[in-house]
Structure 1
């Protein structure tokens, strides 16, 4: 006996029921309708798709096919356009197989319709595809099905509750026993193969008794209501038939019943085929073997076999190199390593990682995709647990590799497109499966709960395929909306009536889907007479309050995040005082906890990068004993321009990214303006005495460290300290270090009642300190006559010297007092409260749209 059921899951239910009812009975062979549409030795799907691609890419004149393609495919489209279109056209052929049609036969049927010319054009393309397959030694599945064959005529065939048996399968056997779940007197309502007739679309359907129809707000509430229904009825798991026509609700049912202690399994929950995501990442690395692609590839455990483990460390090393140096590939990393950076060990690990992956990439490309895949699989899947579908594809397409010259990326894309998703494994301790709509008819439980009773789910959604709209599908004898309506009306009646005497049926629907879109009730729920219809409409269209409508989201103490507690040696840089004065908590996050937001994906310099390169160029100029004493702007300009090119070549080689080339020209312009100002200062008698001078300063028992960009001595004996600034906000030195105060000034909470932050400006007006950098240079170096910035701004007017006029000993002592207060605060671990507003907030993302005070669980310090 050959028993036919609608789906594989229905077959499993049938076998389980037979085993439970009959014990040692030898079960018959149970198949789905697809069994009759199988063909031996037909061209694999990937080969047929390949044929479509080859044919379409070979077309030079699309005029004969203009009825189907008014705009010639491929014009103005990126490479690879044929793969997507080929998959779509192969999909049309797969749909037509339901009635054992080729496109050519469909064209004959559509000849006298308005779509006739389109189908005739497609038929001409199909003919070329069949020729291409024949040259490769294949025949298409569509053509083999169109010829028709008989399947296992010696078996007794039983159609067990298959309400939509495909037309093509009918041609494969002479007779069958058809089992229909309905009273004998309704036999005329079905055809010879158990398919409901068209009159079912007009059938009035009673609502379940006993049972209920429940409207909910969304899939989550629908699943919770289903759980409540089962709990209220006290239904045991072995007597429950639970299902959903909506995949989103199926997942919610697993979660909702799980909270109630029931382990459910959703057979419709699919996951990508094993190694599919890894193959996509490998394809990216093969096409673009750079650091970014390597980081993506290292996200998969399989890559450990190619790099020798340490995936996390390798990702961190590559990401740090990209973030700090804009390193793109191995050559960039090797150039960076030659510069002897502080993190040389990390750079070397990044180099080793790329070299390992590049080695396997070279072998892969050398051996060809098919042989290369087999070698890779031996490494990443040595036990062969995940490789079978890939090896099957490789076996099917390998003969074409010698005839079709394609790059590795194309073959991997074709492979990934051919790998179907696979079911998620069922938990061993599950007590129930969430059935789909067609499986529920075979589920034996006396208590039936169906979710997803919405239009588009039951009956299924009308076709949105531009090639096969509903009218065309009906004309070609394919499944269509009216047929699905009739099928689902019968199924709902059958499942409801089967439990009317002994059992219960509960139907649930929702007003909105998982994406928030509005859903309508299923038309089956509204199949009532004129008297009953208003009552139903009132119930299924009523307003439903969302489950969380009365809840206002508040940030409870339990939801606040705790910053890390860190103990470290107290060494404070002169540049960090400004951060503490702006916000003590952000100071803690940045300098104590070491938190920052990296930007490894950027393709251009950020402000830090731009400033670092500018500093390096002028530093190298200043250490050149000859160049630093150039008195002519032209000579200085040439030197710094050449040095800029050399510094960039050290990092990027000959292939400098476009964005960086643009930024390089901007910096080159600033260096030209710098050269003019420098020449003027040299002629005024200023000579560079020291650069990048490190110093240490003891304040309140803490070591304050700093580095002075430039110390000068005038020929008249005066001494000057300058700090390079490339930002656009440096402004006047004094206003960069302290800000005015008046009666209306509102100090941040952490600065209130702190006299050490107060000072008097050169104009005699009250001010407060907001930065101590240059002032502390004076305290650390002593004997300084002038302090200021050498600004390298974005405009000619912003490239200049900005000096602190009137800086006095009193200013220095006031700055030292303020620094002492900050040091005492840091030593006492006082990093709270955070400031409400700051000029630049590097930690805005941590506030979750609110203030840090509301989102952080920390009071009185960071300990």
Structure 2
């Protein structure tokens, strides 16, 4: 059939948006009778968005008095023109058939295709490979090629060394088609070629192509068969429409390579990175807003990674924007719930359990059960204290274990139907549905709530994928665990997105391929850079660009021609167009400017290159209204302490250190009782490390082993107690880092045993271990008030030979610093712990010569032992004075004190205190 004689062509007005001209043309040519009946017309567009807008324009022109045409995308058109003789294989069926074909190869041939194939039972891995081959098959078949054609045609390409690989792929392709034949199913692309070859395409309707500037060979063959019913509408200037477009209205790549694109310098904005690009968009909008309403401006987003940053920037200047993709399905709650369940099912690890119960929908479900209101905080504390590997082992005291067991049991009961032996994929549909019903049954879905709409979309999308599983032929259904079944399903839908709708006036955001047929009179296009406009296919695993050119597939030249026409169309038909090109992407990787910016004469090319790469060029030297870096203060303020002084009478001897370091952080910790709790520790933190050593040494101090002079006997006792404590606190299978830390503790305790034996031989005896004063010691202030001092002294020793007392505190830090180093800095007291222990020990009769010091237990063995402070009575009196002054300030509520530098050891409140925020309001 001679398509060139029969295809009708309409050249659309180049000075107007294509859809408006196309709508007028369709009405003038095909609207029958006074009803303007277009029911016998099929209007075909590249995407759904253009089709929806086209129908709106038809309604505007006719004031709603018309019978609409059928609106189709180019992918929907073929099956409207012929009747398939067999059902089409679903997407999953195709993947599974390709995977089965691959697995049937002998190992040596398989390695020609995939050097490192997945394990035999890695269903998801094989399906991923199946999908990879499915996509190659679809693209090649669309241009009427098969894998054998690639092998044969490639031989004439210089340097082509993949012949054997493609010959094996041809075998796989034959196997794949054979599998579908046995199942009485049809591959869609193959069915279309069969229909073309057997002249099955026919229609009585008129077909109108709008904006279809690039068609593959299958589409061309299909349209050639119905050319007498076909009209192609070309958006072009009449004088060059013939030379730049072929008979089907597609761009001619060779011609468009040399076409000049009329871009004015004033339309191009060059910026450094994503932040500057967002600012440039905001500024351009402020300029355009005087002449255009919001619904008359479109933002083009070739790189969708910038959408979140752009939306935040525009929200800051009160500019509403609408992006049709509200979020991707992997960002939805139902997807993440299934993902978390699959992870937990895999090994019942504590980390996965903690992530699962943090999921908002599981957390809400748990809150309906018999649990304390602060169950999540309690779980985090439990995890940080016991650091167990899995939820199958729950160590600790009875109260803690009872709580943890109850929480784990609720979740285990919920997912119990999924914790079964592997079974056919389709058998998991019902238990997954029951689990979703249990979690979401009580959730009210409000149709006018945007978040509820997205939730409903996500659940429907996921269960549509499960429905597709039911269509799998029995011979292709894999046997999987619940975790693998869930992961397979999530893989099937991970590219899906959740659409949003908005009736409020807003700036519309569209991807690059939608822009040419958008009809807004003003347009801002971002990321005018190589890789986005135009995109490229240089690194395809199977079909690199050089081979594509040789085979006649879509290549970089075709993409360039398509994008050159799109940009030319936009520039010709819009009142205002702004183009923004970045030097760096969102990851700060360098970007090249789009070649389209250099589609001009050589002199202008040179000038634009200099402009783009000029380091001193400041494309944006002013901030849009509402955006400025010249603010006098941050919008985020450190919350101030309450004005009312605390009612506090009791003080721990260790808490004064915190006030002396930072009165504000002391307030957060001691007055508001805030602290940091995390669920993701991988090892003992310094406090936990020290606590474990203290617990062992407390038992030692109360035992007969404290009177031993043999280091080996002391070590034996300490090691035995250490093993008992570890098993009780962390279970029989602790995390590997804990096992390493335990051995580090064992090394320190061995050093302690040698020191302790020598210490005992010198006459020192332990009189009190972990002494805590039950009746707080009263301590007078200067104004006549008294406060209570409390504390817990690690050990108090008495030398039976000299009558001296020693008040000792175990220190397990790696530094092994002496008391003078930790208590005083530049002759000022920064810690009052040891001096105040004097007062706590007096009720025990500890008077006379009293030594104050540490038993240091660092990793360096030579530093293990007692280190005493050599403070004078005057210095100790000074410590008491500092205590009185500090207590008075606390009681007076003096907590907002600005510091010269941030405390380097007090980091749990760094976020509240904005430690790492540039130009924060104060250092506290």
Indicate the TM-score class for this superposition, using the shorter chain for normalisation: 0.7 to 0.9
Q: Is the 8 A contact 2:387 2:734 kept in 1?
A: no
Q: Does 1:267 align with 2:342?
A: no
1:748 alignment counterpart: none
| Aligned-partner Cα distance in 2 for 1:430–1:849 | 37
Q: Is the 8 A contact 2:529 2:594 kept in 1?
A: yes
Following TM superposition, by how much is the alpha carbon of 1:96 offset from its aligned partner in structure 2, in angstroms? 2.9
2:559 alignment counterpart: 484
Q: Is the 8 A contact 1:459 1:522 kept in 2?
A: yes
Cα 1:299/1:19, change in 2 over 3 Å: farther
Q: Is the 8 A contact 1:13 1:442 kept in 2?
A: no
* Aligned mate of 1:200, from 240, 255, 258: 255
- Once the two structures are superposed, residues 484-505 of structure 1 have per-residue CA deviations (whole angstroms, 9 ceiling, x without a partner) of 2222333333444446xxx455
| Aligned-partner Cα distance in 1 for 2:869–2:609 | 80
Q: Does 1:613 align with 2:692?
A: yes
2:19 alignment counterpart: none
Following TM superposition, by how much is the alpha carbon of 1:417 offset from its aligned partner in structure 2, in angstroms? 1.4
| Aligned-partner Cα distance in 1 for 2:751–2:526 | 73
1:707 alignment counterpart: 792
1:545 alignment counterpart: 618
Q: Does 1:93 align with 2:137?
A: yes
| Aligned-partner Cα distance in 2 for 1:467–1:89 | 9
Alignment of 1:186-585 (within 5 A): 186-187=241-242, 189-205=244-260, 207=262, 212-217=267-272, 218-232=276-290, 234-237=291-294, 239-240=296-297, 243-247=300-304, 263-267=320-324, 270-272=327-329, 274=332, 275-304=334-363, 306-309=365-368, 313-333=374-394, 335-338=395-398, 340=399, 344=400, 349-366=403-420, 369-382=428-441, 386-398=458-470, 404-419=478-493, 420-447=495-522, 449-498=524-573, 503-529=575-601, 544-545=617-618, 547=620, 556=633, 558-565=635-642, 567=646, 569-585=648-664
Secondary structure, counterpart of 1:172 in structure 2: helix
1:842 alignment counterpart: 907
Q: Is the 8 A contact 1:49 1:87 kept in 2?
A: yes
Q: Does 1:690 align with 2:776?
A: no
Q: Does 1:29 align with 2:102?
A: no
Alignment of 1:65-214 (within 5 A): 65-69=110-114, 71-73=115-117, 82=126, 84-113=128-157, 114=160, 115-130=162-177, 139-148=186-195, 150=200, 153-173=203-223, 174-175=225-226, 176-182=230-236, 186-187=241-242, 189-205=244-260, 207=262, 212-214=267-269
* Aligned mate of 2:87, from 41, 53, 59: 41
| Aligned-partner Cα distance in 1 for 2:868–2:335 | 62
| Aligned-partner Cα distance in 2 for 1:813–1:544 | 66
| Aligned-partner Cα distance in 2 for 1:794–1:535 | 65
Q: Is the 8 A contact 2:295 2:505 kept in 1?
A: no
Alignment of 1:596-745 (within 5 A): 596-624=675-703, 626-695=704-773, 696-699=776-779, 700=781, 701-715=786-800, 719-738=805-824
Secondary structure, counterpart of 1:34 in structure 2: coil
Secondary structure, counterpart of 2:517 in structure 1: coil
Mean alpha-carbon deviation: is it higher for 705-714 or for 239-248?
239-248
Q: Is the 8 A contact 1:365 1:372 kept in 2?
A: no
Cα RMSD of the aligned pairs, angstroms, is 4.0
Following TM superposition, by how much is the alpha carbon of 1:197 offset from its aligned partner in structure 2, in angstroms? 1.9
Give the structure-1-normalised TM-score: 0.83
Q: Is the 8 A contact 1:719 1:786 kept in 2?
A: yes
Which runs of no fewer than 5 residues in structure 1 stay unpaired? Answer: 740-744, 746-766
| Aligned-partner Cα distance in 1 for 2:388–2:465 | 37
Secondary structure, counterpart of 1:177 in structure 2: strand
Following TM superposition, by how much is the alpha carbon of 1:480 offset from its aligned partner in structure 2, in angstroms? 1.6
Following TM superposition, by how much is the alpha carbon of 1:454 offset from its aligned partner in structure 2, in angstroms? 3.5
Following TM superposition, by how much is the alpha carbon of 1:37 offset from its aligned partner in structure 2, in angstroms? 6.1
| Aligned-partner Cα distance in 2 for 1:59–1:242 | 50
Mean alpha-carbon deviation: is it higher for 425-434 or for 699-708?
425-434
Secondary structure, counterpart of 1:458 in structure 2: coil
Secondary structure, counterpart of 2:480 in structure 1: coil
Following TM superposition, by how much is the alpha carbon of 1:613 offset from its aligned partner in structure 2, in angstroms? 0.8
| Aligned-partner Cα distance in 2 for 1:45–1:522 | 36
| Aligned-partner Cα distance in 2 for 1:536–1:731 | 64
Following TM superposition, by how much is the alpha carbon of 1:262 offset from its aligned partner in structure 2, in angstroms? 5.5
| Aligned-partner Cα distance in 2 for 1:541–1:670 | 61
| Aligned-partner Cα distance in 2 for 1:796–1:537 | 65
| Aligned-partner Cα distance in 2 for 1:144–1:379 | 44
Secondary structure, counterpart of 2:420 in structure 1: helix
* Aligned mate of 2:862, from 764, 779, 797: 797
- Once the two structures are superposed, residues 250-293 of structure 1 have per-residue CA deviations (whole angstroms, 9 ceiling, x without a partner) of 66776676667664322356422542222222221221323322
* Aligned mate of 1:16, from 56, 60, 83: 56
Mean alpha-carbon deviation: is it higher for 523-532 or for 306-315?
306-315
Aligned residue-pair number: 818
| Aligned-partner Cα distance in 2 for 1:373–1:89 | 30
Q: Is the 8 A contact 1:216 1:508 kept in 2?
A: yes
1:828 alignment counterpart: 892
Q: Is the 8 A contact 2:303 2:532 kept in 1?
A: yes
| Aligned-partner Cα distance in 2 for 1:387–1:853 | 42
Mean alpha-carbon deviation: is it higher for 842-851 or for 515-524?
842-851
Secondary structure, counterpart of 1:709 in structure 2: strand
Cα 1:9/1:589, change in 2 over 3 Å: same
